[in-house]
A and B are shown apart, each in its own frame.
Chain A
Amino acid sequence: MTVQILYFAWVREAIGRDGEAVDPPATVRTISDLIAWLAARGGGYGEALADPKRIRAAIDQDFVPHDALIGGAQEIALFPPVTGG
């Protein structure tokens, strides 16, 4: 299942890209699984995603918890806690 991933703020800076299309294995079912799978790439991914508690996620432009299933997602975003206002 190919899905578009977007990164924002310091997640984007550590990984060194705005986003990418990925094709995770079937065992990657939730946001938590996806974060762990990406972090295992090491380098900037490991740095950005080492502490999942510091990461928030959105599926198709809606905030979701880390146990949300990613099946059927078109676009997944991973980013730090928001600081608008």
Chain B
Amino acid sequence: MIRIAVQEADFDTAALMAELEALDGGAVATFTGLVRGEGGLIHLRLDHYPAMTEKALASIADQAMARWPLGGIVIVHRVGALPPGARIVFVGTASKHRAAALESCAFLIDWLKSEAPFWKKERFADGREGWVAPRAGDAAAKARWQG
């Protein structure tokens, strides 16, 4: 089971976990990313490339399915303006055993950060705006799954 959604609406973390638990796998691992409210941030705006986004996420999910014995993957990514504390992304995996669930969950979020066409723009209370640059650690986090 692979379920991928890109949406403006918030998502229900418990409901998404329940979908994975219903797969009867024995282990579920999840990651939820939230907007950090640092430096007077008013909101983060998530832009994306609509024609490509779901295709890129499906490709990342397929790679995880090929690499670990998984019963299911759920990826939900929000777009639009998100205030501090808002949920941005949910990644969850179900497997028979914890190692596959935990490792594949980490793989998915590490790859998603470098291989899915989303861009974040920050807006601050003092009027400043700016596009977020990738962190140096993002490429390294992806690279640890290669070779």
Asked if A84 is at the interface of the complex by the 8 Å CB criterion, the answer is yes
CA A85 to CA B132, docked complex, whole Å: 12
- When the two chains form their complex, are residues A85 and B117 in contact, meaning their CB atoms are under 8 A apart? no
Asked if B55 is at the interface of the complex by the 8 Å CB criterion, the answer is yes
Instruction: Pick the residue among B77, B109, B112, B119 that contacts A80 (CB under 8 A).
Output: B119
B24-58 interface mask toward A, CB cutoff 8 Å, 1 = contact, 0 = none? 00000000010000000000001111011001100
- When the two chains form their complex, are residues A84 and B131 in contact, meaning their CB atoms are under 8 A apart? no
- With both beta carbons as reference points, the residue of chain A lying nearest to B120 in the complex is identified as A83
A67 to chain B, nearest CB (A): 19
Chain A residues with Cβ below 8 Å from B117 are 8, 58, 77, 79, 82, 84
Report whether over half of chain B's contact residues are helix, strand or loop; otherwise say mixed.
mixed
Instruction: Pick the residue among A58, A62, A77, A82 that contacts B118 (CB under 8 A).
Output: A82
CA A85 to CA B112, docked complex, whole Å: 6
Asked if B115 is at the interface of the complex by the 8 Å CB criterion, the answer is yes
Asked if B63 is at the interface of the complex by the 8 Å CB criterion, the answer is no
- When the two chains form their complex, are residues B113 and A61 in contact, meaning their CB atoms are under 8 A apart? no
Chain B residues with Cβ below 8 Å from A62 are 52, 55
Asked if B133 is at the interface of the complex by the 8 Å CB criterion, the answer is yes
Instruction: Pick the residue among B33, B46, B51 that contacts A75 (CB under 8 A).
Output: B51
Chain A residues with Cβ below 8 Å from B46 are 84
Asked if B65 is at the interface of the complex by the 8 Å CB criterion, the answer is no
Chain A residues with Cβ below 8 Å from B89 are 84-85
* Most chain A C-beta atoms within 10 Å of own C-beta, residue among B47, B52, B114, B131: B52
Chain A residues with Cβ below 8 Å from B51 are 61, 75
